Chains A and B, each alone.
Chain A
Amino acid sequence: MPSVRDVAVRHDLPPLARVVTREDVKAYADVSGDVNPLHQDDDVARAAGFPGIVAHGMFTMGHLAACVSRWAGGPERISRLSAQFRAPVFMGEQIVAGGRVKAVDVERGVALLECWVSVERDGATGWPIKRGEAEVRLDP
Chain B
Amino acid sequence: MNASVAGKVYPEATFVVEPERVAAFRSVFDETHGVPSTFATAAEFAVMPMIAGDPELDLDFTRVLHGGQEYSFHRPLEASETLIVRSRIGSIRSVGGNAILTIVTELVDASGDVACTARSTLIERGER
Q: Which residues of A are interface residues toward B (Cβ below 8 A)?
A: 24, 27-28, 30-34, 56-59, 61-63, 65-66, 69, 74-76, 78-85
Q: List 26 A-B contacts (CB under 8 A).
A: A27-B24, A28-B28, A31-B25, A31-B28, A31-B42, A32-B42, A57-B65, A57-B66, A59-B28, A61-B38, A61-B69, A62-B36, A63-B29, A66-B29, A69-B37, A74-B33, A75-B31, A75-B34, A75-B37, A75-B76, A76-B35, A80-B70, A81-B38, A81-B71, A82-B68, A85-B67
CB distance from B122 to the nearest CB of A (A): 11
CA of A58 to CA of B36, assembled, Å: 12
CA of A74 to CA of B30, assembled, Å: 12
Which of A57, A58, A74, A84 lies in contact with B34, CB distance below 8 A? A74
**Among residues 57 to 71 in chain B, which have CB atoms less than 8 Å away from a CB atom of chain A?**
65-71
CA of A65 to CA of B69, assembled, Å: 12
- Summarize A's interface: helix, strand, loop or mixed: helix
Residues of chain B within 8 A of A24, CB atoms compared: 28
B interface, how many residues as a size bin? Answer: 20 to 34
> B71-89 toward A: CB 8 Å interface, digit per residue (1/0)?
1110010000000000000
Which of A32, A63, A80 lies in contact with B45, CB distance below 8 A? A32
Residues of chain A within 8 A of B27, CB atoms compared: 27
Q: With A32-B41, A33-B42, A33-B45 in contact, do A66 and B70 touch (Cβ < 8 Å)?
A: no
Residues of chain A within 8 A of B31, CB atoms compared: 66, 69, 75
